[in-house]
Structure 1
């Protein structure tokens, strides 16, 4: 019994010694393995599955890749390729929106126009891929912020820029800086961007407007002829079924600058029946509620589409909206031949087609009584389509990325192309506003530019 106990103790001691030896051996091997991996030379690295090495100028670290989806796959130690450093942009230009009207910030904050809210976030950085350049767009009311910018934008500044502020702004202009006027209004309704006479022909490098001879042309709409057969035939029966009323007009600004629009409406109302809406009429309609406009105006056959100014190419959303709603517009605004260039064929009625107001009114009565004659004003619907934008889209267009990129493209080419500054009071801009029609009977409605007004606000 004693012999067996001694034998067991001896066996236990031998086993303990062997276990200690094994543990020490394993620890030594692991240490050697780690040092071997960390001391691998460049010529040894391909054996770890790497065919290319990262730059020796950057720190490298060892990582373990996840196992492949295979029964024989095992994790493999590799050296991670470092990410390339971000290169600074090769080209960037600074744009400044100078004197932006406060109403713009309110408009873009309305819930129904929330998609435009990002446009009033300044400064904003945007990329223009055509010229591969970045624009840093800022906003300021201070003339002292004009230096250091490549482009200064004047748009929707209303009556904020006084002659004194023009002096401050012009005094801060730097060499090589482009000044751009952006407007969808007629020259008569843009006093905020109208410079003093002493700067008139030496201010704006570019004009962005509705005019076809502008540097950047943005019409309110145009007519596009179908390339082939019309997608669907226009339903004339449905059109006639929707018509139960004669003539309508909606006006929000009752006192115009160039011509007496209100008197024109009153004179027509003395010959034929007319229903008046808006601030100048009997029933108010929200200007930005297209559905409300549609419900009220669709039953009418004719609509007075009367612009606040009679200027070349000035055909606004009033005209395109009337066509879209399915009414025949009686127009006063751009010259007759300008309407012929942009409007669908035989889609409107212009005073230059008649020798008197009474003759024009008689034509309306005759067309109203003859379905065949009335439908002739809608034949264009089977030949083409309208391309136009909503009023709010025109309102925010000066802020959009596309507008900035278009301007940038012109600006970077200034050094290569001979360029003459625009004359604000020249024939191309202010001088493009002339008579409201060529017929003598229309001269009755023209106003002297110095005529007295009941309200000093031009938008009254």
Structure 2
């Protein structure tokens, strides 16, 4: 190996110091001349929480050595004051999640709109709240906030639909420390679904459909009809001039109970699923994409996030993005082509041979997940560094990440106020609340 005597002496001294003064699980490594890291020995001491690694940088007489450590976890469990939360969640608190890896736990307790109950908390969680935009709340919270207290925003919805959770405009300079949202830009992302590739390709049988059948062409399921920033219902009704669309839910005339197997089977008989989000914001891709892919074997026709956002998360060639077409008629014509061409239609399901969808029927909040709660604990305990820039509710990853739906000029017709920018539209929404 070519190790020098001085290196061995240095190793022994460091090893002695580690064993005598630290209560850790220790692994010692040195490098060969080929720069291979080789374990020398492993000594068991009292604790095993945070392994320490001694690394000789290279096989030189006076080479510098480094000690690599996992960050130390401070003593005590994590206390989370949930300041804003939906009323139907209050009875679930307090809620404790154990994190065995760190031998710590994190407890979420009810501090709904109770400023004084947040004073000594390690972390304050803002999840939702109807009256949360009051200036007095933010002023009092900010005045008693300690240097070490962490603030986090957690929401399954977009900035447009959570305007009551932000600081009032007078206190727009306030920064959260962290965010836990649907967005991949979030510190603790909780997406609605994900595509997971297989290690090896498989051959999945294709479920054929009667492509020449003019019935059951496209389906739209929605319960929120008037939206704050774009006329989704108007787009669907205008598209129905060119293709047959069955409309379920409060925005249509048909009813489908999610517990009715016959109804779900009927949904699977369609060819296309209109997956139109209620807000057009960065990374906002909900069950409207994942359910038709996983549950119904339909081709989603999407509008919401950008094409690039969908490509980042969806299976390859699994969806049709409305923003790719020059008009609704061009879109309708293409859907008819796909529906009449078995080879083209089947190409939208080729991804099934290469991966699968992991989706959740109901979006889980951060405290309902052991994985995400323990990630939060790691931030509080200093195991994960908190970004120095913090989380700006008005910044590009949240408020400023919401925009007009699509870039095609013809889509501008569906803005609520075409003469204003999307920023102005959202500002007007804020003023109405």
Short-chain TM bin: 0.7 to 0.9
Question: What's 2:134 paired with?
Answer: 162
Secondary structure of 1:359's counterpart equals helix
Cα offset, 1:172, TM superposition: 3.5
**Equivalent residues of 1:158, 1:191 under 8 A apart:** no
Match in the other structure for 1:431: 400
Structure 2 counterparts to residues 54-453 of structure 1, below 5 A: 90-104=75-89, 120-141=91-112, 142-230=114-202, 232-237=203-208, 245-286=216-257, 289=259, 291=261, 294-324=264-294, 325-391=296-362, 394-413=363-382, 419-448=388-417
Aligned-partner SS, 2:320: coil
Counterparts in 2 of 1:293 and 1:332: CA distance versus 1, 3 Å? farther
Contact 1:312 1:432 in 2 (8 A): yes
Which consecutive residues of structure 2, in runs of 5 or more, have no partner in the other structure? 1-73
**Structure 2: how far apart are the matches of 1:327 and 1:273?**
15
SS at match of 1:190: helix
Q: How many residues align?
A: 350
CA gap of 1:312–1:171, structure 2 versus 1, over 3 A, is same
Q: 2: CA distance between counterparts of 1:416 and 1:334?
A: 29
Counterpart in the other structure of 1:25: none
Distance 1:275 1:415 in 2: 48
Aligned counterparts of 1:272 and 1:425: Cα–Cα separation in 2: 40
Secondary structure in 2 aligned to 1:145?
Answer: helix
Deviation at 1:276, TM superposition (A): 0.7
Q: Distance in 2 between matches of 1:246 and 1:415?
A: 49
Deviations 1:100-159 (A, max 9, x none): 111335xxxxxxxxxxxxxx5433444323333232321122112111101011113345
Please report how far the alpha carbon of residue 397 of structure 1 lies from its aligned counterpart in structure 2 after TM superposition.
Answer: 4.0
CA, structure 1 residues 122+345, in 2 after alignment: closer, same or farther (shift >3 Å)?
closer
For 2:263 and 2:88, locate their aligned partners in 1 and report how far apart those are by CA, in whole Å.
23
RMSD between superposed Cα atoms in Å: 2.9
More helix by share: 1
2:318 aligns to what SS in structure 1?
A: coil
Asked if the contact 1:239/1:326 (under 8 Å) is kept, the reply is no
CA distance, structure 2, for counterparts of residue 329 and residue 207 of structure 1? 29
- How far off is 1:294 after superposition? 1.9
Distance in 2 (alpha carbons) for counterparts of 1:416 and 1:375: 46
Residue 327 of structure 1: how far off its partner (Å): 0.7
* Larger deviation, residues 167-176 vs 436-445: 167-176
Distance, in Å, in 2 between the alignment partners of 1:253 and 1:436 is 17
Unpaired segments of 5 or more residues in structure 1? 1-88, 106-119
Q: Aligned-pair distance for 1:236?
A: 3.4
The TM-score normalised by the length of structure 1 is: 0.70
Q: What secondary structure does 2:180 align onto?
A: strand
Quick one: structure 1 residues 416 and 228, their matched pair in 2 at CA, closer, same or farther if it must change by over 3 Å? closer
Q: 1:98 to 1:261 in 2, by over 3 A?
A: same
Instruction: Tell me, yes or no, if the aligned pair for 1:153 and 1:182 is still in contact at 8 Å.
Output: yes
Aligned to 1:75: none
TM-score (norm 2): 0.74
Sort the Cα spacing of 1:91 and 1:290 in 2 relative to 1 into closer, same or farther, 3 A: farther
Distance 1:214 1:149 in 2: 22
CA distance in 2, matches of 1:94, 1:242: 59
With over 3 angstroms needed to count, the CA separation of the structure-2 counterparts of 1:441 and 1:316, relative to structure 1, is: same
Contact 1:243 1:301 survives alignment (8 Å): no
Q: Is the 8 A contact 2:219 2:272 kept in 1?
A: yes
Aligned-pair CA distance for 1:329? 0.9
Contact 2:177 2:387 in 1 (8 A): no
For 2:214 and 2:196, locate their aligned partners in 1 and report how far apart those are by CA, in whole Å: 26
